[in-house]
Structure 1
Amino acid sequence: MNIITGLLLALSLCWSLSNYCFIFFWTLPFAWPLLVILMTTGLTALYHHWPGITAFMLPLWVTALLAGIQLHYHTEIRFLILWAIFTAILLYGRRILQRWYDEAWDTHQENMQLIQRLESIANQDALTGTANRRALNAYLAAIWQQKTPLALMMIDVDYFKRYNDRYGHQAGDECLSSVAQVLKMAVRAEGDLVARYGGEEFVVVLPGVSLAHATAIAERIQQKIREAGLPHAASAVASEVTVSIGIVASDGTVPIETLIARADSALYQAKNKGRNQWSY
């Protein structure tokens, strides 16, 4: 028996003793209405908590039954019938209330799941399954507010326009999806974010990561991309899909817009040096 159930039982015993005196000794006219109010109040407040409703209702029910039988001993059968009907109403009422509660809770759970799905859709790139630009901006804003040190990569699929021209846009979409999966597998630390920045560009956010660690991750990304072996006969740097990466790091004080601009500049340098490499 927990504390709440114990308190309900103690409260019910006090009311039970009072009602017994009201009914049997003093025959006060408000005794039965008061009893009904107490029991219906307990029903509506505690119907979803079986130990609580039992602790509160049972002493009242037994006490009123005994007092009523002693007071109406000449009409005991009729009183028992009325009391049985009242008891049935209470039990049925609890069942109805519990059903309404269950239905309302199920509806609430469905609504919460729907909200979560909608939030996921609103923050997820439909093609690649990565975070979208909206989610990226919100994540970077949160990091900026906390002044968290981070590294940021801007990644571009090399010669992607040529890939689309040679293999078609559907194959291009599949290529981007495959690259996104490789990126997510390559950066699996909790808190890392992979987002599609636009077109064939991705951004990877690495909170708490130094520039040296970020370059190691960039090398791992390029290695994983090569291992994926996505054919790219139109590329000027390799026979398979490759990526160029621009890397920047911040101590948490650099504005997000400046960080993005620096990453874009580093990416431009990597592409200008011949692609299929990283730069900072």
Structure 2
Amino acid sequence: MDINHSTGENVITSTKGYMWFLSLNIIFCAWLFLRDTHHNGLESLPLVLQILCGCIMSLSLINLIVTVNIKKNINEGFYHKILPAIVLVLGLLWAVLFFNFTLYYQSPLITLMMTIMVLLPATITFFISGRLLFLFSTPLVLSLLYVEIFLKHNFSLPQFIGAIIMLLVIYSARYILLEWYQRVQRSEYEKNILIKKLVQQAHYDALTGLFNRLSLTRFFEECVSSLSGNKKKLFMIVMDIDFFKQYNDVYGHVAGDKCLIKVSQCIEKSLRKESDSAFRFGGEEFVVLTVCDDISQVKAISHRIQQNIAHAHILHKGSDVSSVLTISQGIAQWQEGMALEALVEQADQQLYKAKKNGRNRVCF
């Protein structure tokens, strides 16, 4: 049920809860100063209590400043390494403070209440990291037990049991908070997985894994925007598997789906990752958007697609042009002000010409 130490402690220092805890340390010490000043005058406050309160306030203030800087992306690696030591020192300072407070006021019950006031925000803050909570709380609890067992003239079993119960409450509360946190984390993880699935369904073709037709508009607009101020040109390749209906008739639709997957893999293998995008336009029709310097680069892409499909050696007994699967392609170049529909229409015209002229070819 425990979270990895370093992960949990990284989470703690990146949350507002840790800053809240440090702020409460400062406020509580300031209250102790004001309380004793109001009742007894500052001169009557023992020097050791003044020093301990000052140390806690200073250490908390320094850590609060460092934590604010960490949230502003200052290097945080070293701070995370020394965080357990910082928490232990704070716990020891509070333990010594309450020990001396008990000796000075001779009121263990008040000390117990103030200890609970300190441990409650510590439990809320450090519940993710059991190590930090243990380092902070153990000195305080041991201090209470030491006072109860060794310094009091009359040992009080109920007081002793109360301290033990307090310790049990702290750690049981920690596990309840941790369980709640992990449920939230799981819920967040499941939500992110669902979002990724929805994005996948919205932008990608379920069968081939290529971008779907709906994504074409967004990519087209991005490509047009990228052309601003440079000499590159946008081209569209529309391609169609030759005699795909006959392929389905001969081999069946399951084999047809496998064929579409293989063709999409051949297309992806032929593209340049930085400037080309492939889409399943519908049925056996595919589209490629590519930003190139000239038509020779586009033709090279088309040639690679034809070669990779030929090397895949997908048998096609229903084809009139080859014993293996082939593809026809039409290329169109985008002109300034041209809409996506117009570009698709031009590429379709070239595809129709490639089919009319015998298929298994590229027309531009």
Which band: TM-score by shorter chain?
0.7 to 0.9
Instruction: Give, as a single letter, the amino acid of the residue that structure 1 aligns with 2:81.
Output: N
Q: Which residue of structure 1 lines up, in the alignment, with residue 324 of structure 2?
A: 240
Over 3 Å counting, the alpha-carbon distance change for 1:73 and 1:109 in structure 2 is farther
The reply to whether residue 260 of structure 1 matches residue 344 of structure 2 is yes
What residue is the counterpart of 1:228 in the other structure?
312
C-alpha contact 1:151 1:210 (8 A) present in aligned 2? no
Give the secondary-structure state (helix, strand or coil) at the position aligned to 1:219: helix
From 104, 129, 133, the equivalent of 1:53 is 133
Q: Counterpart of 1:23 in structure 2: which amino acid?
A: T
Instruction: Using the TM superposition, give the Cα deviation of residue 67 of structure 1 relative to its aligned residue in structure 2, in angstroms.
Output: 4.0
Aligned AA for 2:240?
Answer: D
CA deviation after TM superposition for structure 1 residue 215, in Å: 1.6
Q: Following the alignment from structure 1 to structure 2, what is the Cα–Cα distance between the partners of residues 173 and 241?
A: 14
8 Å Cα contact 1:147/1:253 also seen in 2: no
* CA deviation vs aligned residue, 1:159-198 (integer Å, no higher than 9, x gap): 3344445555444434323322322333363664322101
Q: Give deviations 1:99-123, integer Å, cap 9, x for gaps.
A: 3323332333233223323322333
Map of 1:103 onto structure 2: 183
Equivalent residue, structure 1, for 2:261 = 177
Alignment of 1:73-152 (within 5 A): 73-147=153-227, 151-152=235-236
Among candidates 265, 268, 273, match of residue 357 of structure 2:
273
Report the counterpart of residue 26 of structure 1 in structure 2. Answer: 105
> Structure 1 residues 263, 64: CA separation in 2 closer, same or farther (over 3 Å shift)?
farther
Rounded Cα–Cα distance in structure 1 between residues aligned with 2:192 and 2:308: 37
Cα pair 1:23 1:68 within 8 Å, conserved:
no
Q: Deviations over 1:144-172 (max 9, x none)?
A: 44448554321111233444455554444
- The residue aligned with 2:41 is none
Q: Residues 153 and 110 from structure 1, CA distance in 2 versus in 1: closer, same or farther, beyond 3 angstroms?
A: same
Pairs within 5 Å for 1:177-216: 177-187=261-271, 189=273, 192-206=276-290, 211-216=295-300
Unaligned runs of 5+ in 1: none
For the 8 Å contact 2:331–2:347, the answer to whether it is kept is yes
| CA–CA separation in structure 2 for the residues paired with 1:58 and 1:252 | 73
Q: Which runs of 5+ in 2 are unaligned?
A: 1-79
More displaced 10-residue stretch of structure 1: 217-226 or 262-271: 262-271
Residue 241 of structure 1 aligns to a residue whose secondary structure is: coil
**Higher RCO (CA 8 Å, separation ≥ 6 residues):** 1
TM-score w.r.t. the length of structure 2 is 0.64
Matched positions, count: 280
